[in-house]
Structure 1
Amino acid sequence: MFFLLVQPDYRMRLVVFASTLALLLMAHVHLLLRKGRGFAARFTAGVLTVQVLVLLVRAATTFWLDQPDTLRFGSSPMQAVYVATYSFSVLLVSVGVLLMASERLRTEFEHLANHDSLTGALARRVVMHDSAQEFVRWQRYQHGFALLMVDVDHFKRINDQHGYAAGDRVLARVVDALGHALRTVDRLGRYGGEEFLVLLPEVQAGEARMVAERMRLAVARLAATEQVPACTVSIGVACVQRGDASLDAVLARADAALYEAKRLGRNRVELAASA
């Protein structure tokens, strides 16, 4: 308003406007590069960077191309190029925003398809696929792995005494505790009901038992609350070994070890016997 009414100067108004908008766009570019993922975010950041350059060039050249009394909609070649370029970049930004929205939706749909909606653990299909891939890798390179079958003890009693909503909260809490006890390369999936399957790549029997014990303690140490009762888990551990013809053989030993852990009193870890 000062450069419009008090001391009219079109050039200063243009410099103030272009510089302020360039700073805002640079903040958006920084946010997209720091937080954005995928092609759409990089594309939008690139278009915004072009917008910043167009604004800065227009601001820098105004003192050579314009006069203080130049009209805002004056017909000059530079102004025409500036308006056309900026308008086209705004259109490209709109395309980039739509691409980011579609990528976000696709990511959310993929997460819903690959994860259990109640607990956040991997879906059975996904953890079984990863386990099958690990078995193929073992056959080719002899890199050992272990499968852990985890079962929430007396889960039916929890549902009967506290209700199914409390049971759902128990499962979600158990998965959270188990996840914190695992490495980033490990895979935790819901196998069915209150049973979970854990894939531990690149481990031997001793390491697998240590991880299983850490998981058991993580759940056992969870204190009861008004919303979620305390619980424990039993874990069966099986490592791939010579003679295993399929992944089902490893799963069967892990399931047998889980059954033995429950037979011996629950809240314990049992290592499957060698075939």
Structure 2
Amino acid sequence: MTIKARWRRWAREDAQVSEAALRRNLHALAVAAWVVVALNALHVVVFGTLHFDDAVRSTWAQRVAGAHAAMAVVMLVTGWLARRLQARGALPAAAAWLPLGVSALVLGWAIALTAFDQAIGGSLSAYVNAAIAVPVVLLLRPRVMVTLMALAWGALAVVLRWVIEDAALLTTHRMNAASTSVLAALVGVLFWRHFVRTERLQRALADSNQQLQAQHHELQALATRDPLTGLLNRRAFEHEAQQVLARARRQRHPLALLMLDVDHFKAINDRHGHPAGDAALRQVAACMAEAIRQTDPLARLGGEEFVLLLPDTGADQAWHLAEKLRHTLEQTPLPAIGAPLTVSIGLVTVAADATPTLEGLLQQADQALYAAKRQGRNRTVTWDAEQAARGASTASG
């Protein structure tokens, strides 16, 4: 990869993480501001109480104390503003200038302190501390960091010329400041690139986790849902139904189970095609799903048969629901065939003190459904134990 292509790639990556970097900078400012305020207050106390017989040193101490007092006020405002911005969901465009503005202000303040220090000893510690602190605390894009450090060094070089008359000392300070500025810019660039790589890696990991979760949900749906209607499949229905039955036994609550079959479904497929048959099944599923509670297990058993388990439901309520479903479908034309559907329903109701099995309920509902078909379709038939016994006796005779 050429240098030009690499710079273009870095520019794209920088733009992608700019908001994350800004939020990280706001957090850093909100925390660092109070630390800086504490240090400023300490300097104000120490230098504000110094007394010298020498007027030059006294003036120097007063200037240092005043500079730290001013910076304490600035950092108090910065910390408050950073916290206010952190609490906002969408950051205003002007917020991006806060880290750069604070960085420039800190470096300018350090240049002033360095100029004050030349009156007593010629130290560069104020500028060195600030130049290193800025890239350590704040993330600035590489070109911004390099430009900022270059301007800071240029400003310091000019200021030093005003306060230092010794050419050798001036050259030494300028070169030392240049080295500090270059190292600070390098630290800033390295920290920024590390942040960019880490942020992009975290995003890629988050996207991968999201895709895995989506695939997991998709696989779970494939394992438990009927792909045509979106209802539970037989296996998932049996699992949920066993839990409902166990709860009904413990709490001694009534329940009901109904089995629904679309009348003349084969004729729909033969006359109008399988897409019309699929549309009919989806309409039945939608009608049933709208009429029940979310806690009622509803499934497509296969073909044109559906099953619904109704916990905490008495015989009258179950009959009313079955008839409501039947009438709703009978009165709702299916666009694919230009006519409404009719269905036959087999209903089984269970008293509160009974202990049925799921296999038994399904068998009884199937017998009631068969009776509804035999009696002319488009009706609801409730399973009756005595009638079933008479039918079995007649069949055996």
Aligned to 1:5: none
Aligned to 2:264: 154
Aligned to 2:222: 112
For residues 192 and 64 of structure 1, do their structure 2 counterparts lie closer, same or farther at Cα, with a shift above 3 Å needed? closer
CA–CA separation in structure 1 for the residues paired with 2:289 and 2:359: 24
- The answer to which structure, 1 or 2, has the higher relative contact order (CA under 8 A, 6+ apart) is 1
CA–CA separation in structure 1 for the residues paired with 2:375 and 2:308: 21
Aligned to 1:6: none
Aligned to 1:53: 23
**DSSP-derived class of the 1:259 partner:** helix
- Pairwise CA distance, 1:223: 1.1
Q: Is 1:63 the equivalent of 2:101? A: yes
Q: Is 1:266 the equivalent of 2:394? A: no
CA–CA separation in structure 1 for the residues paired with 2:263 and 2:143: 79
1:97-139 deviations in whole A, cap 9, x for unaligned?
A: 1100111111111112211112222111111221122122222
1:45-79 deviations in whole A, cap 9, x for unaligned?
A: xxx6xx552143575332232379x9535216456
Q: Is 1:89 the equivalent of 2:204? A: no
Which deviates further from its counterpart, 86-95 or 150-159? 86-95
- Pairwise CA distance, 1:147: 1.0
Q: Is 1:213 the equivalent of 2:312? A: no
1:5-63 deviations in whole A, cap 9, x for unaligned?
A: xxxxxxxxxxxx99x953xxxxxxxxxxxxxxxxxxxxxxxxx6xx5521435753322
**Aligned partners of 2:225 and 2:232 also within 8 Å:** yes
CA–CA separation in structure 2 for the residues paired with 1:184 and 1:121: 12
CA–CA separation in structure 2 for the residues paired with 1:260 and 1:161: 26
Aligned to 1:8: none
The equivalences for 1:1-275 within 5 A come to: 21-22=18-19, 51=21, 53-56=23-26, 57=28, 59=96, 60-66=98-104, 71-74=143-146, 75=185, 77=187, 80-226=190-336, 229-241=339-351, 242-273=353-384
Aligned to 2:5: none
User: What is the CA RMSD across the aligned residues, in angstroms?
Assistant: 2.8
Aligned residues: 230
- Structure 2, unaligned stretches of length 5 or more? 1-13, 30-95, 109-141, 147-184, 387-397
**DSSP-derived class of the 2:144 partner:** coil
For residues 21 and 139 of structure 1, do their structure 2 counterparts lie closer, same or farther at Cα, with a shift above 3 Å needed? same
CA–CA separation in structure 2 for the residues paired with 1:132 and 1:228: 39
For residues 65 and 152 of structure 1, do their structure 2 counterparts lie closer, same or farther at Cα, with a shift above 3 Å needed? same
Higher helix share: 2
CA–CA separation in structure 2 for the residues paired with 1:116 and 1:101: 22
**DSSP-derived class of the 1:140 partner:** helix
* 1:113 partner letter: A
- Pairwise CA distance, 1:243: 4.7
- Pairwise CA distance, 1:85: 3.0
**Aligned partners of 1:188 and 1:198 also within 8 Å:** yes
* 2:24 partner letter: V
Which deviates further from its counterpart, 58-67 or 254-263? 58-67
**DSSP-derived class of the 2:214 partner:** helix
Which deviates further from its counterpart, 126-135 or 257-266? 257-266
* 1:72 partner letter: V
CA–CA separation in structure 2 for the residues paired with 1:238 and 1:223: 28
TM-score (structure 2 length as normaliser): 0.52
Larger Rg: 2
1:174-231 deviations in whole A, cap 9, x for unaligned?
A: 1112211222222221112111111112211111112212211221122142456431
**Aligned partners of 2:346 and 2:368 also within 8 Å:** yes
**Aligned partners of 2:254 and 2:313 also within 8 Å:** yes
- Pairwise CA distance, 1:173: 1.7
CA–CA separation in structure 2 for the residues paired with 1:149 and 1:216: 12
* 2:195 partner letter: T
Percent identity, aligned pairs only, is: 33
**DSSP-derived class of the 1:72 partner:** helix
1:250-272 deviations in whole A, cap 9, x for unaligned?
A: 22222222222222222122222
- Structure 1, unaligned stretches of length 5 or more? 1-16, 23-47
**Aligned partners of 2:249 and 2:354 also within 8 Å:** no
**Aligned partners of 2:248 and 2:311 also within 8 Å:** no
**Aligned partners of 2:256 and 2:315 also within 8 Å:** yes
